Structures are given as C-alpha cells and as structure tokens.
Structure 1
Amino acid sequence: MRSARSPFRSRAVAVTALAALLALGAPVTAVGGSTGDGHDRRPCDASRLPDRGPARDVLRIAEQAKAEMDLESVILRVTVDRREVVTTALGESMTGVPAAPAMHFRNGNIAISYLGTALLRLVDQGRVGLDDPVARWLPDLKDGKRITLRMLAASTTGLVDYVTTPGFGETVSANPFRQWTARELVAISTGRQRWYEPGTNWSYSHANFVLLGAALEKITGTRLDVLLKRQVLGPLGLRETRNSFTPDIPEPVLHAFTADRGTYEESTFWNPSWTTAPGAVQTTDICDLARSAVGIGSGELLSPSSYQELLNPGTVGLGHETRTCPATVCLANTEATHYGMGLLVLGDWVAQHPLFFGYSASQAYLPSERLAIAVSTTNGPTATDGHSAHVITQRIAAALAPNHPIPDFG
C-alpha cells in the first residue's frame, strides 16, 4: 500500500482556526483544562456559553442529536490550539442526577492508541524495533517468529477477532459480570484458523492488542498500567485517566444503560475485562479525552519518524477488493482513510471511537487546524446501537471545519 495522503498539509494562505473561532465569540479562557501541557489542569467544569458563535452552534448540534438519537446524556469538549471553545454536559447520568463534565466513563479502544504510542516511544528510546518478531517476548504464541510488533499494533497479523467469533457475544451477554483473562481471550483467537498470512492483509482483532500489551510488559519488565502511566498518561497530564483491574469506576460516575439483552437496564458496572489488554482497561473524563485527542493526534510524545509510523505503518489490505477475511471486519477503504497504530486516520483527522455496554465515545483531532473534539454519550431506552458520539463529532467537525469532513470507517 502506498503511503497515505498526508492529512497535515499546510495551507499557503489561511487564518488559523483559533483566530477565526475567537473572532466569532468563542471563550478565550480554558475553563476546565490547561492551556499548556496539561499538568496544571483545572477542574473539568462546564464553560459559560455565549449567546452566539461556535460554542452555541456546538451546543445546538448536541441538543438536536440527543433528542434525535434518544440519548440519556451527551458530554463534550472542543478545543482549538488547546484553548477551550466549549465544555458542556446535557441530560442525566441517572434519574434526577444531571450529567457533568467531570464524570468518569469507560474509554474502550482509545487506550489502544496509548499502546501504539507507548510502543513507538520504546522504538524512539532504542529498546525495540517495529519489525522485531514477538516470539522473542511471547515464545508460546503460535507463529510468533512471523508476527512482528508492527503487525500487532497495526492489526495485520491475521488473527481472528475473538469478539466476532460465534457465541462470544452471547456468552458475554449471559454473564456480563464475568472476569475474562488474557489467556482465555487469546486462546479463542489462536484456536481458530488464521484469516490470512501475517502481514498480508488488515483486519481489526482485539487479540492483537491483548498480545501487544503482554509484549510491552515483557519488553520493559513493567506492568502495563504502570508503563502506560509513565510513557503516555503522565507525560500528557491525563490525571483522570486510569486503569482498573475490576469493573469499578472512580467517582463521579457517568452511568450507562443498554437494551442489548432485550430490556433497558443499567450496564455501568458490567465487566469490561474482555475489551483489551489487562492494564489498559481504562476510565477517563471529557477533559482528559480532549487532551488525549491533541496529545496522540499531534504525536506530541514521538519523534517525527515515529509519528509518521503511528499514522501510517504501511497498513496492507485496505483498498483491496480481494479479501481473505470476513467483509465485516476486513474493510476496503481509500488511502486517506486507514488504520494506523492503534488509531484511525479518517481523511484529515486522527480519531478513535469506542462503543460498548451503552457507552459511546469519540476523540478526533485535526492537525492542520489544531482542532480537538471529544464526545461521550449514553443511551436512552430507544437508542439504536450506532456510534452516536462519532456521529456528533462528525456534525461538530462539519460546523467548525467544513473543508475537513470526518468520513466513516466501517
């Protein structure tokens, strides 16, 4: 696959998005977050909304989406050049309990982008190479000599996704409080015939990231949650983003609800242990999510060469019509829309959008405008299973950066 069109081209003549937004009346005070490196962060509070301008436009988008999609809550934050445009929360966490920006929610596969960044930081430190075979650290992995760290991070190993295997969803639904181990999850994937030979195609597989987490622990001799805190969360100042080895969520909690099992019920404390590597099962708040969009999307912690690898590690398979994996998980896309190392490159945006257990979230960053959008939603009784946070993010992007639409992926 040829290198993707760079989403970071500069414009010859342009007024910065920050200047344009400020001219239209956007707030200039970074209420609820740091204006700098994230280490002096203030409480994550709602901003004061002006009568007009981008902040008011974003609020209208959120209000309309909440009603249209029957969402219990919508929490969002938008920044330009790390300065707040708007931070707000709509709806309720529980009956009679208003949603608030400081509430914590599960961030799902957003943590996978931290795995990719942590791996590349180790590359920058000269501790590993992306094309090192994982058998060096995971000797029991079948075909580990042919699977590289790059393949794990870019999801090109050919390993079956245990989440999509027959019966897995029903098993989780039957007992959503079950604690899954990494060994159990990987065994489901490795116990089935590989979709394709390692490195010859692309398909999303949760097993890749469970294995990447295990490899990172072996490489560093450090437990994954500690490693991510040292390499990513700490340097970015993500003080409200943390792992838990239990289903617990720190207070204040954004409660979630789902009708996945046929009746509308609370799913806040259903066990997310199956979602990714132990040590990377995290919760966060909306201010950290916006800061994460900037830090990861700009490659702030990486060398220029590693940043380019993060965005385009040479992912194969995307754009090929001939597939050897199921079409539902092996996607054909344009060069500008592809999978990087634990994240999505959606046109000009760097993004990720998890969805599970009644929670939906989205983080998106537009490097050319230094525009970050973070959204979290929870479902109402008749909500569909769509990526509601991602849809809201797309609508906000269309309003604030109309020349840079966010395309769909999958």
Structure 2
Amino acid sequence: MHRRSRSLLALLLTSGLLVAACSSGNDSTDSTATSSTSSAESSALVPLDSAAIDAIVDEKAKEFRQVGMVVLIKTPDGEYVNTWGSTELGGTTPPTLDTKVRIGSNTKTWTGTVILQMVQEGKISVDDPVSKYRPDVPNGDNITIGQLLDMRSGLYNYTQTLELNRALDEQPERVWQPEELVALGLSNPPTSPPGAEYNYSNTNTVLLGLIAEKLDGKPIAEIYQNRLFSPLGLENTSFPANTDTSIPSPYTAGYSYSGNVETLGEGKEALSPERIAAIDAGTVTPRTTTNDNPSWTWSAGQGISTANDIATWVKALGSGELLGAETQQLRIDSVQPSDANGTAAYGYGIAQMGPMYGHIGEMPGYNSFMGYDPANDVTFVVWGNLAPTVDGTAPAAMVAKELIPYVYAGPPAATSNDVGEHSDDAGK
C-alpha cells in the first residue's frame, strides 16, 4: 500500500486536477497552496450532468474490475452520488454513503492534524529536531518534525522492505506493533539527507503517531476520537485496535489480484500479461483482503470511514476547521513541489491536487480519494473495493481524475495522458 505512494500522489497531482487549477492562465511553476488557490478562484464550475457522470463511473468501474464503488461530489450548485456495484463479489447489496471502508493513507491527514494542534498548543514545534522526542532516530538532530510531516526527512520507507511485504503475503493476520515498523525503517540507510528531497515514507507518520501519544499521554485512537472525530461528529469513523481485523457493519469487502512481493519494486506494479489473461478468462479470482490485519499501517493508514464522513473530514481539513487560522496558514504554506517539475505538491500531512487539498489512500483491496477545494467549495470523495488494478493503478484516484472535467470548466479533459500508467501508493 504505502510503498507505492510517490507515484500515486503524482497520479493526480500531475493530471487534469492541476490543469483545472491553472485554467485562469497562471503559468507559474510554484505549486504552493497560495498560487493554486488563487488560480482556483477564477476557475469556473460547470453544472453537474448526472447522466454523463454516471456513464464515466460505469465505464471506469468496469474497466478497473471493481466490485463496488462510491462517488460523492458536492458543489455549491448541487450534489452527485453514485453507489455502484456491490459490497461483495457475487452479491446484490449496493454500497451506500455510509458503507465503511479502510481508508489507507488518508489516515495520515489525521496524524498531521493532531500534531499541528499540538503545535498551536505549544507542546511541540515543527522546527524541533526529532531527536528531542526520539533519540533513537539516526541523524535525528538534523531531522525536524516538519520534515517528518512533509515527507522530507530522508528516512527509509519501511513498507518497501522485503521483510514486511513477504509477511503480508504469508501472514496477513500478523499483528504489528508501531515500534516494529519504525525499527524496519530505521534499519535501512536513509534515501537522502534531511530536507534534500521529497520521499514518501510511512516511517515518518508512524513516528509522528508515537510522538503524539507521548505528548498527549493517550493512545492514538483516543487522540483521534477526542481531537477529530467527536468535534466533527464523525460517528462512522474509527481507528481499530491492532488486534482488530473486523470492519464495523455496514462495510464493504475488499479484493485484490496482486501479491505484495510480486509487485514490490519500480516497474513491477503491473501483473504479467499471462495473469491478466487468466483473470479476463475467469480462471483467476481476486483474494479477499477484508480481514487482513491493517496494523502494519498504524497511524499512517489504519483508519476506517465512510464517504459521508470522509466528505466532512476533508472539508474540515481543507478549510482548517480544527486548526487556528495561523496554524492552518502554516500548513498551507508548508505545501511544496514534490517532483522536479513542480507539478506535484505535499505539505504537513496534506497533499495539494490542483485546487483541492486532501489525500489518496490505498491498501490491498481498498483505494480512496478525497479532496476539498476551499476557493470553490467543492468536495470530491471516491472509493473502490478492488485495489490496486491489475496494471498497478489506483482506481478511485483514476476515476476522480476522469470526473474533473465534469466539475471544472477548462482544458482538463485533454490531459488524460498526463496521469502516469501506474500508482505508487498514496495509501500504503
């Protein structure tokens, strides 16, 4: 899941979403939140054409072999909802906006938000060295809390290790402790010096979860509940115990054709032509991942939510509802280009996708996209229950990309080839 993050975020950040944000003609290569929000202010919205959007969702859901999919779009002019397919293979129960799913790396936005709440409470600073809280982190004197938040610490991503991926294939029920995950990451050499470059790493977010527990003196689940879920009324959102592999009802099952080791490594995301042919012929069926233990993701990806709750959450995230104005501005100002072209952007536990702020989440069997455009008050939520696709892409993110031209006026419809052929994981 999280091992493919860089390309999964780039999937949307370099696609039609960014073009939509720039439809005002602003050709600056600065991908800060300020420039994108400014561009979004002059982006026109188009009336939601339900029939046309239905056709795209149906086409793409079938193309990506989804069992079930939910799309929720909210604009000042109306709302679009599509609850496509079924919650289980061979079933007849359609999903709803209150069907629970595993949200993968969208959980990172929770962790980033509670850390920033603690920043405004004076408990921690984004400029503090991580060694102040975790003396065991190599070179921790030179890695800041801010660099953990914005994926520029250089710490190795533990979900890229063969040890973890082999265990996920052979022991999907295994219970992982956060300290085990951190140890996996820290046992590998860093990918770059601190602050040198963007490198999506789940090690960062698990460390932040442990630091949050230390500062608040509470388990991370209780921290999320007290600081995020209760204030926003997110009654169908939860963070399960490490030993809990269930999803509260009503939920959707998750499915995947891909093994973890077989798709580990650059260029190996897609299944072989022979496997794909067998899938097409019906001789290979997907594995059910619903009750795989998600503890290997912890504060980087273990959350459960619904389309309705995700919509509430991402709007609060993008508008800064749970942060003071100064802290929200700190977060927005942290968003920096995460690729050499300056087209993808990431900040303090938040991704910028054109005019939208949000994230993408993926783990075996589940993929979700969430975005909120504060300038135009647009909310986008998509989830699918078979992930990744056989060619390694992120189905929900790709559907969101395809639907952008049906929300924003301008040229994004001509940018479908800009998206990249595979996801790298923004959820894993």
* TM-score, normalised with respect to structure 1: 0.80
Question: Structure 1: which amino acid aligns with 2:83?
Answer: A
Mark the CA change 1:12 to 1:398 in structure 2 (over 3 Å): closer, same or farther: closer
CA contact (8 A) 2:198 2:339 kept: no
Paired residue for 1:57, among 35, 52, 56? Answer: 52
Number of equivalences = 360
Cα displacement (A) at 1:87:
2.4
Q: Distance in 1 between matches of 2:250 and 2:311?
A: 18
Q: Distance in 2 between matches of 1:123 and 1:80?
A: 32
Counterpart of 2:128 in 1: which secondary structure? coil
Cα displacement (A) at 1:13:
7.3
Alpha-carbon RMSD: 2.7
Aligned residue number for residue 298 of structure 2 = 276
Paired residue for 2:234, among 220, 232, 238? Answer: 238
CA contact (8 A) 1:72 1:380 kept: no
Structure with greater helix percent: 2
Q: Given the alignment of the two structures, is residue 155 of structure 1 paired with residue 151 of structure 2, yes or no?
A: yes
Mark the CA change 1:292 to 1:58 in structure 2 (over 3 Å): closer, same or farther: farther
Relative contact order, higher structure (CA 8 A, sep 6+): 2
Alignment deviations for residues 30-53 of structure 1 (CA, whole Å, 9 cap, x no partner): xxxxxxxxxxxxxxxxxxxxxxx5
Paired residue for 2:191, among 195, 202, 225? Answer: 195
Q: Distance in 2 between matches of 1:376 and 1:398?
A: 19
Aligned residue number for residue 256 of structure 1 = 254
Question: Structure 2: which amino acid aligns with 1:214?
Answer: L
Aligned residue number for residue 174 of structure 1 = 170
Alignment deviations for residues 138-175 of structure 1 (CA, whole Å, 9 cap, x no partner): 23333333222111111111111111123432221111
Q: Distance in 2 between matches of 1:138 and 1:204?
A: 20
Counterpart of 2:383 in 1: which secondary structure? strand
Aligned residue number for residue 270 of structure 2 = none
Aligned residue number for residue 72 of structure 2 = 77
Q: Given the alignment of the two structures, is residue 8 of structure 1 paired with residue 27 of structure 2, yes or no?
A: no
CA contact (8 A) 2:72 2:307 kept: yes
Q: Distance in 2 between matches of 1:84 and 1:109?
A: 28
Please, which runs of 5 or more residues in structure 2 have no aligned partner?
1-28, 260-274, 276-283
Mark the CA change 1:144 to 1:267 in structure 2 (over 3 Å): closer, same or farther: same
Paired residue for 2:287, among 261, 265, 271? Answer: 265
Aligned residue number for residue 286 of structure 1 = 307
Aligned residue number for residue 96 of structure 1 = 91
Cα displacement (A) at 1:89:
0.9
Moved more, 351-360 or 163-172: 163-172
Aligned residue number for residue 295 of structure 1 = 316
Alignment deviations for residues 71-120 of structure 1 (CA, whole Å, 9 cap, x no partner): 11111211125x85022311111222322212110011101011111111
CA contact (8 A) 1:109 1:276 kept: no
CA contact (8 A) 1:159 1:208 kept: yes
Q: Given the alignment of the two structures, is residue 365 of structure 1 paired with residue 365 of structure 2, yes or no?
A: no
Mark the CA change 1:256 to 1:208 in structure 2 (over 3 Å): closer, same or farther: same
Aligned residue number for residue 19 of structure 2 = none
Q: Distance in 1 between matches of 2:411 and 2:193?
A: 36
Aligned residue number for residue 326 of structure 1 = none
Alignment deviations for residues 1-60 of structure 1 (CA, whole Å, 9 cap, x no partner): 977252211778787x4xx64xxxxxxxxxxxxxxxxxxxxxxxxxxxxxxx53333322
Counterpart of 2:141 in 1: which secondary structure? coil
Equivalences for residues 37-52 of structure 1 within 5 A: none
Moved more, 142-151 or 206-215: 142-151
Alignment deviations for residues 210-243 of structure 1 (CA, whole Å, 9 cap, x no partner): 0000011111212111111222222222221100
Question: Structure 1: which amino acid aligns with 2:174?
Answer: R
CA contact (8 A) 2:39 2:355 kept: no
Cα displacement (A) at 1:200:
2.3
Question: Structure 2: which amino acid aligns with 1:87?
Answer: V
Question: Structure 2: which amino acid aligns with 1:357?
Answer: P
Q: Given the alignment of the two structures, is residue 393 of structure 1 paired with residue 396 of structure 2, yes or no?
A: no
Alignment deviations for residues 346-396 of structure 1 (CA, whole Å, 9 cap, x no partner): 222213111221211110122221111101112299854311100111122
Q: Distance in 1 between matches of 2:400 and 2:319?
A: 18
Q: Distance in 2 between matches of 1:227 and 1:146?
A: 28
Mark the CA change 1:333 to 1:97 in structure 2 (over 3 Å): closer, same or farther: farther
Q: Distance in 1 between matches of 2:250 and 2:358?
A: 26
Please, which runs of 5 or more residues in structure 1 have no aligned partner?
22-52, 319-330
Aligned residue number for residue 183 of structure 1 = 179
Q: Percent identity?
A: 23
Aligned residue number for residue 111 of structure 1 = 107
Paired residue for 1:340, among 338, 343, 347? Answer: 347
Q: Distance in 2 between matches of 1:118 and 1:375?
A: 24
